[in-house]
Chains A and B, each alone.
Chain A
Amino acid sequence: MSRTIDPRRSGSHPFLLLLIVAAHTAMLLTVGLTAGFTPEVMKLGCYVLAADFVGSIVLQLVQRQACTVDFVLLLVLGISTIYQSCFGGAVFAMKHYLFGLMAFVMCQLSYLLVRNPYRAERLKPLWYVLFGILVLSILLFTGSRGIWIDLGFITIQPSEFVKPVFVLICASSMHTQLQKKEWKGLHYVPDNLGMLICTGVIVCLQWWCRDLGSLPTFLAVAAFGLLLRLYYLREKWSVRFMVVFGICGAVLAVAALKFAPAYVQDRLNVDIWADMSGDGYQQCKALTAIAEGGWFGKGAGNGTLHTVAAANTDIVFATISEEWGLFSALMAVILVLFLPAAVLTVPPRSYYHAGLAVGVAAVFMVQMTLNIFGSCNLIPFTGVTIPFLSQGGSSMLASGILAGFLKAAQAPVLSSAERSRKKAQGGRMQKA
């Protein structure tokens, strides 16, 4: 079974790059025809296509290490830059572009860091230390119960970087699961205990920061991590167990909603159309913008939603819909969906990587759910971002790191493990 894209065999590599360039060129032409071929538009075109060109060369040079994730990421980052450059007028979004490039680099670095599951697992104490540092930085440096660290020239959101670290903590190997210990007759796996403690710390921290919007993301990662750990040796899913697990989740959710702070309760019960200038302002504007954009949008740069707060972050789906149309916005979201979905076509070879992939999928999916459905008033509105599409340096870099985990899950395992596999296969063949 072929587990990576090997262009030297299939010849798909140049074809994929051509598709990426073609997609970006088509979008840039659309921008030019709508907003005119102004210097800003030309600059945008040059930078985006230059990134494609450089990216193509890099991926061509490291063909054996290139995965579907790389190509999708290159495509998404270019599209995202074009979107962000057009909100309310075509002006090249240099900052977003640079963070996009950095996200691509972070993707490669995190891939190198975790591609060896054994090493990544051995580095687990380091992840706990990182987790502790990030938590402390939130407690000490984010001001009065805030989530941002203001360095003057730049603001950092440490909680975004907690996400990839937490995914690393929640992923586990079978070997680790077998390391059981006993305390007063009670058997437990230290790694599982660590994960639960970290989850508890995050819940407390988010409550303290009043940033409950990110809590579902962390809880989803923890839930799937727990699920995989509980099921690591079993043959198949137990329906009874899943029902109990689901009921527990539902009870917790109901309890959380019941005891949620007043401002959360307000968001749960707000009738946005009855409070169009108050609590429902952003959602009303977002829904109206989507409606006015229709299937094909008002045209790049012709939107009005950019004047609303968080137009390029929390309600970015609506902003894209208004200018480019609902069809384009949906396609962009589905494109981001390709990142975790790519792991389905080329399954991870290790249990550890599988855990990483599920964790990243949970982060991406929950964030997109909260952002899109929240801004469209199907669920309470929270201030989370869509990975890669929303503006925000911390979010972009954290998403890049998470994409690196997906790439590691897709990439070939180390030669030692490969040898083990072949050896095992050879042994079986001899027995046969």
Chain B
Amino acid sequence: MKRQTDGKSRKARNPIPLSVDAPRSVLRAGQATSLLIVLFLAALGYLTYTLLTEASYYVAMSGTADYGIVYDRTGDVLFDGSRPLEEYPEGQFADVGNFIGDTSGQMSNTLISRNLEDLTNYSFMLGMSQGNASWETTLLHSANRAVFDAMGEKEGTVIACNWKTGELLVCVSKPCVDIAKGYDDLANMPSGSLLCKAFYPMVPGSTQKVSTLIAAYETCGIEQINAMQYDCSGSWLNAKRQRINCHKEQGHGTQTLVQAFANSCNPYFAQLVQSEQLPLSRVIETFTKMGYAVNGEKGKRLLMDGITASPATVTLADPKDFDTQWSCLGQGDTLISPYQLMLWQTAVASGTGKSVQPYVIAAKTDAEGNRTEQTVRQSSEQLFSATTAQAVRDVMTQNAAAYYKDSLGDYVCGVKSGTAQIIDHGEEYENSLLVGFSMQETCPVAFCILIEKRTAGELTTASLAKVLLDALQDMT
């Protein structure tokens, strides 16, 4: 190409025929424009998605939409967006406020906030309608209230579902906000009033031994594990000379697994974990199948009608190390939500090794009057084998029959208790737990009960379980 930069002719003034020599540069300009357009369209797509998913929230915040009513399984009102909540009797909503939630936007992980668009007379497609939406839930309000009242001043949570159908029957968490009173006194509300503890991880204590037992059965077989005997003298030194203490200082002596399970004997289970017959890799495999996030892996969040629960977490590094053994005993790094503990109980109670998918909204009626029933009853993948489930069910049933007859009365149950040792901001205390299930034909319930900072002589988890089961006898 000949370059000309001076001269008076037209050609000299226009020295480079641009169209011929600059195609690549022009192409790049097109690429730059394309990039801009693609980025803009992608952002526009994101904006549309955001608007679609949050439109109900915007309408809720603006106060222009009307909300419907949430009923329990008997028609009792759990929330009413169509009229002031103050018009209801005092305490009507005090027991389930942080589970059912409201439209204030103060709580995010509640049934209403997660399904807000289905309770309004508003939809992005149709705008505002004249009627009111409503939900029929599976909760039994009277049972929730009975449990709530029985807890008295104690804080904690109780969650229970029908292990055959997945219907959630009770979900109480104390302290609990009374949505009828509003949030004017938010600063003075007790910590935890705005969240339902059933869906948040906590130290499971010896209820973790159910999982350890399942892993042992899955790995070695039921007969072999049941035949294993270990000695407990009140404390035990592991291979690394680290000490594991038993809650019974004088020890339990030589025990079988069923006895150790009933005694909640730490040295027995620590020896079981250290045993070469129980390879840690198999334990990790079983725990992973059950839904644990092992050794910092990212687990799958649990979901129930939009409400989320964090997956259980556990650290299993070295079977001869205190931390791993302590984790298998339900202390240390192990964290599980009561909801997930209850799920495993449904898998045990049914004897299938599959947990049922709990649900709380049985039917929705939109503002136009269209009713939709939740008909899908899902169960999980195989968490553990049916044989294991049945064997664990037997162990837990024997445990209940032997040690909880006085507390639970004539109910045919399986239970496992636990005590979680907590150090929170320098304060040491113990939480009391009970997981289990009822085999009553009229009341097939799996449950998890947590009483925080329980001390001797106070309300026990077993007596609370009795209140729960009694209240659920009215279940229709």
Contact = CB atoms under 8 A, between A and B. Distances in A.
A378 B47 contact: yes
Nearest to A304: B64
A175 B15 CA distance: 7
A350 B64 contact: no
Interface string B10-35: 10011111111110111111111110
Contacts of B26: 347-351, 354
B8 to A, nearest CB: 14
A227 B58 contact: no
A349 B40 contact: no
A349 B19 CA distance: 5
B118 to A, nearest CB: 15
B47 A376 contact: yes
B31 to A, nearest CB: 8
Interface in B119-139: 122-128
B62 interface: yes
B18 A352 contact: yes
Given A178-B3, A326-B51, A421 B40 contact: no
B37 interface: yes
A358 B127 CA distance: 40
B29 A294 contact: no
B126 A413 contact: no
A178 B5 CA distance: 9
Contacts of A237: 28, 31
A415 to B, nearest CB: 12
B29 A373 contact: no
A295 B47 contact: no
Among B5, B26, B123, B126, max chain A CB count under 10 A is at B26
Given A341-B37, A373-B43, A291 B18 contact: no
Contacts of B22: 174, 232, 350-351, 354
Contacts of B51: 287, 290-291, 326, 376
B61 interface: yes
Given A273-B61, A292-B59, A378-B50, A357 B19 contact: no
B130 to A, nearest CB: 15
Interface string A165-184: 00000000111001100000
A67 interface: no
A176 to B, nearest CB: 10
A348 B22 CA distance: 10
Nearest to A409: B29
A287 B51 CA distance: 8
A247 B22 CA distance: 28
A333 interface: yes
A337 interface: yes
B228 interface: no
Among A174, A233, A350, A351, max chain B CB count under 10 A is at A351
Interface string A21-53: 000000000000000000000000000000000
A224 B39 CA distance: 15
A224 B32 contact: yes
Among B15, B21, B28, max chain A CB count under 10 A is at B28
B61 A276 contact: yes
Contacts of A362: 36
Contact of B40 (A276, A355, A357, A369): A369
A294 B124 contact: yes
A337 B37 contact: yes
Among B40, B43, B56, B62, max chain A CB count under 10 A is at B40
A106 interface: no
Contacts of B21: 174
B123 A284 contact: no
A251 interface: no
Contacts of A354: 22, 25-26, 28-30
Contacts of B33: 340-341, 343-344, 357-358, 361
A317 to B, nearest CB: 9
SS of A interface (majority): helix
B19 A421 contact: yes
Given A291-B56, A357-B29, A344 B44 contact: no
Given A292-B59, A347-B26, A373-B47, A298 B127 contact: yes
A174 B40 contact: no
A273 B105 contact: yes
Interface in A254-290: 273, 276, 284, 287-288, 290
Contacts of A351: 18, 22, 25-26, 29
A417 B19 contact: yes
A276 B63 CA distance: 12
Interface residues of B, number: 52
B10 A416 contact: yes
Contact of A420 (B5, B20, B32): B20
B50 A344 contact: no
Contacts of B302: none
Given A347-B30, A348-B26, A349-B18, A368 B40 contact: yes
A348 B46 CA distance: 31
B48 to A, nearest CB: 7
A248 interface: no
Contacts of A288: 58-59, 61-62, 64
A330 interface: yes
Among B3, B20, B25, max chain A CB count under 10 A is at B25
Interface string B43-85: 1101110110011101101101000000000000000000000
Nearest to A237: B28
Given A227-B32, A237-B28, A361-B36, A173 B128 contact: no
Contacts of B62: 284, 288, 291-292
Among A179, A237, A361, max chain B CB count under 10 A is at A361
A361 B37 contact: yes
Interface string B98-129: 00000001000000000000000011111110
Nearest to A272: B61
Contacts of A273: 61, 105
B368 to A, nearest CB: 14
Among A117, A224, A350, max chain B CB count under 10 A is at A350
A424 interface: yes
A113 interface: no
A208 interface: no
A427 to B, nearest CB: 10
A372 B47 contact: yes
Interface in A294-353: 294-295, 298, 326, 330, 333-334, 337, 340-341, 343-344, 347-352
Contacts of A287: 51, 54, 58
Interface string B190-230: 00000000000000000000000000000000000000000
A326 to B, nearest CB: 7
A231 B25 CA distance: 7
A286 to B, nearest CB: 9
A293 to B, nearest CB: 8
A37 B229 CA distance: 92
A290 B18 contact: no
Interface in A398-424: 413, 416-418, 420-421, 424
Given A294-B125, A351-B25, A354-B30, A420 B19 contact: yes
A188 interface: no
8 contacts: A178-B5, A232-B25, A291-B122, A292-B59, A294-B124, A294-B127, A354-B22, A421-B20
A-B complex: 3 closest residue pairs judged by Cβ atoms: A354-B29, A420-B17, A291-B55
Interface of A: 117-118, 122, 173-175, 178-179, 224, 227-228, 231-233, 235-237, 273, 276, 284, 287-288, 290-295, 298, 326, 330, 333-334, 337, 340-341, 343-344, 347-352, 354-355, 357-358, 361-362, 365, 368-369, 372-373, 376, 378, 413, 416-418, 420-421, 424
